[in-house]
């Protein structure tokens, strides 16, 4: 059977009511919350995992960043094609279930390789969420409200990482009161292994919540013909179409990918080392690190995303078709000195104060990155477009960021994580800002072109 999609009926359909749109966005944000919680909980247990599995800082950086990010990118390529073809709720449900069970499987690890395989599973499951969720949100809101909606969705990432430290620290402290736990069917496990079970298994049940979200009408899709039982051929065809689309707008995409990719090295990559830096520099325990770092991440992230989303949408309504590039390029320039001051302070409270400002300024990253992509890309390529970005900038940022900091720390600064962080910020933030600011003209051109085709 041949299926086809045309843009006219979907484009003419009214948007859902704001209540429906925001309800769906909040559910998707909660999914994002679970994904980031499962992704980052490992960061609070650096020292016990290294001790029991005999790992180096570089190996831990590979577990936290590389294993996750490479899998996230590769599987995301497939997930993007799924998002453009099938019911996006079912794709998300499958992914949430996989990453939740894989997080629990981290608690079974007895070696570096066991942990590596489990982290691959976490990356594979989480790869499904962003292509589907950002595609759905773009179909739920008009263009002038898109960045704010993306910001609310991205709050799931902020609250998830904050809760990974806040609640994760409490869980780690609680289970650390006993060196070993005996679990049914599994037997004796270390306290850090029990932590993975506590945070991982509930997500498998929560995955059912995605069916409380409506599957929105796909808007702005151009006519597409697909043959039954030919998913792989159609998927390859979609990526070929995407590459042709990108080639015709090469300056915009080159500067978008490079600018946001370098930004991701700090936004996602550097965050790996916050708990280790605090513990080694100030001697704080996991529960205290989790409390203060978690509160800092949550408040700064929510505040920065709301302000950024509202301001960027206001700029868009006033005709600034480069609003996402303009705002985030300036944000990166402002963030660089704040981050460098944070990681060169000798006082934990001064560090947290500057870190709060640093994170507030940087937090609209996901909203600006996703909105700027989806404002340009036609509906039938949005899943593949987000997935291809993740497969390029995702590898650069999430995989390269932790290793960049670790490499600078180990090879240049004699194991000083603070100096490694400072150097990474000094390199990546200004360079990313310049690339995005150079891309403003091309963004105005391609967004205007996309609007004319609606």
224-227 and 187-190 as β-strands: parallel, antiparallel, unpaired?
unpaired
Q: What is the pLDDT along the chain (454 residues), one digit of tens a residue?
A: 333 344 445 555 678 888 889 999 999 998 998 888 887 777 767 777 887 787 777 777 777 767 777 788 788 888 888 888 888 999 999 999 999 999 988 888 888 888 888 999 998 999 999 999 999 999 999 888 899 999 999 888 877 777 767 766 666 666 556 566 666 556 566 777 778 888 888 888 888 888 988 888 887 666 555 555 566 777 777 888 899 999 989 999 999 999 999 998 888 767 778 888 888 889 888 778 878 888 898 899 899 999 999 999 999 999 899 999 999 999 999 999 999 999 988 899 999 999 999 999 999 998 999 999 999 998 888 888 888 888 887 677 767 777 788 888 888 887 788 888 899 999 999 999 999 999 999 999 999 988 887 7
Burial of 158 (0-12, 13-18, 19+ CB in 10 A): buried
Cβ(259)–Cβ(435) below 8 Å: yes
End-to-end Cα spacing for the chain: 28
How many angstroms separate the CA atoms of 53 and 66, rounded? 18
Q: What is the DSSP string of 294-360?
A: HHHHHHHHHHHHHHHHHHHHHHHHTT-TTHHHHHHHHHHHHHHHHHHHHTT-SSHHHHHHHHHHHHH
Q: What is the DSSP string of 234-248?
A: HHHHHHHHHHHHHHT
Dihedral sign, CA of 235, 241, 245, 251? Answer: positive
**Domains, in order of start, for the chain:** 18-214+242-452 (1.20.1250.20)
What are the helix and strand counts (H, E) for the chain? Answer: 21, 4
| Other Cβ atoms closer than 10 A to 185 | 4
Extract the tokens encoding 186: 């599994």
At residue 176, the pLDDT reads 58
Cβ(371)–Cβ(324) below 8 Å: yes
At residue 3, the pLDDT reads 39
How many angstroms separate the CA atoms of 347 and 247, rounded? 49
Contacts 24+ apart (CB under 8 A), 335-341: 335/266, 335/361, 335/362, 335/425, 335/429, 336/425, 336/426, 336/429, 336/430, 336/433, 339/266, 339/421, 339/422, 339/425, 339/429, 340/422, 340/425, 340/426
Residues 6+ apart with CB under 8 A from 250: none
At residue 177, the pLDDT reads 60
Cβ(282)–Cβ(276) below 8 Å: no
How many angstroms separate the CA atoms of 84 and 5, rounded? 11
Best CA proximity match to 155, nearest among 22, 262, 42, 270? 22
Cβ(235)–Cβ(304) below 8 Å: no
Extract the tokens encoding 249: 């707008």
How many angstroms separate the CA atoms of 292 and 301, rounded? 14
How many angstroms separate the CA atoms of 72 and 397, rounded? 12
Backbone φ and ψ for 260, nearest 5 degrees, come out as -75, -30
CA 108-39-389 angle, to 5 degrees, is 130
Backbone φ and ψ for 180, nearest 5 degrees, come out as -135, 150
3-state SS assignment for residue 229: coil
Extract the tokens encoding 224: 């597409």
Extract the tokens encoding 353: 């104060």
Best CA proximity match to 279, nearest among 292, 289, 290? 289
At residue 62, the pLDDT reads 77
Extract the tokens encoding 129: 């969420």
180-183 and 224-227 as β-strands: parallel, antiparallel, unpaired?
unpaired
């Amino acid at each position: 059977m041949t299926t086809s999609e045309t843009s006219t009926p979907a484009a003419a359909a009214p948007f859902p009511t704001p209540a429906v749109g925001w309800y769906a966005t909040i559910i998707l944000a909660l999914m994002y919350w679970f994904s980031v919680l499962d992704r980052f909980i490992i960061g609070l247990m650096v020292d016990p995992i290294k001790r029991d599995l005999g790992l180096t800082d570089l190996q831990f950086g590979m577990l936290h960043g590389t294993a996750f990010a490479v899998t996230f990118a590769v599987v995301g390529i497939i997930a993007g094609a799924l998002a453009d073809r099938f019911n996006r709720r079912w794709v998300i449900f499958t992914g949430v279930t996989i990453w939740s069970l894989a997080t629990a499987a981290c608690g079974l690890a007895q070696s570096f390789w066991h942990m590596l395989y489990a982290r691959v599973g976490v990356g594979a499951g989480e790869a499904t969420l962003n292509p589907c969720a950002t595609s759905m949100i773009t179909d739920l809101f008009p263009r002038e409200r898109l960045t704010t909606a993306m910001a609310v969705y991205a709050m799931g990432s902020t609250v998830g990482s904050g809760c990974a430290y806040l609640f994760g620290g409490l869980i780690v402290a609680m289970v650390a009161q006993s060196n070993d736990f005996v679990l049914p069917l599994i037997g004796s496990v270390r306290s850090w292994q029990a932590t993975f079970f506590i945070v991982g298994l509930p997500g498998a049940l929560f995955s059912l919540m995605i069916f409380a979200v409506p599957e929105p009408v796909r808007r702005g899709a151009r006519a597409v013909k697909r043959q039954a039982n030919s998913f792989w051929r159609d998927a390859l065809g979609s990526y070929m179409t995407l590459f042709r689309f990108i080639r015709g707008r090469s300056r915009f995409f080159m500067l978008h990918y490079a600018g946001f990719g370098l930004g991701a090295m700090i936004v996602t990559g550097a965050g790996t080392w916050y708990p280790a830096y605090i513990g080694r520099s100030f001697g704080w325990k996991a529960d205290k690190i989790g409390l203060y770092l978690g509160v800092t991440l949550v408040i700064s992230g929510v505040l920065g995303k709301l302000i950024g989303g509202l301001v960027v949408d206001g700029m868009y309504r006033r005709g600034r078709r480069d609003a996402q590039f303009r705002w985030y390029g300036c944000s990166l320039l402002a963030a660089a000195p704040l981050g460098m001051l944070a990681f060169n302070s000798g006082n934990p409270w001064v560090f947290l104060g500057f870190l709060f400002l640093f994170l507030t300024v940087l937090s609209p990253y996901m909203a600006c990155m996703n909105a700027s992509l989806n404002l340009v890309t036609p509906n039938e390529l949005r899943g593949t477009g987000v997935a291809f970005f993740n497969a390029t900038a995702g590898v650069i940022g999430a995989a390269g960021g932790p290793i960049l900091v670790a490499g600078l720390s180990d090879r240049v600064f004699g194991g000083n994580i603070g100096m490694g962080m400072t150097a990474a910020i000094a390199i990546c933030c200004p360079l990313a800002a310049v690339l995005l600011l150079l891309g403003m003209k091309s963004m105005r051109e391609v967004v205007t072109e996309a609007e004319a085709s609606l």
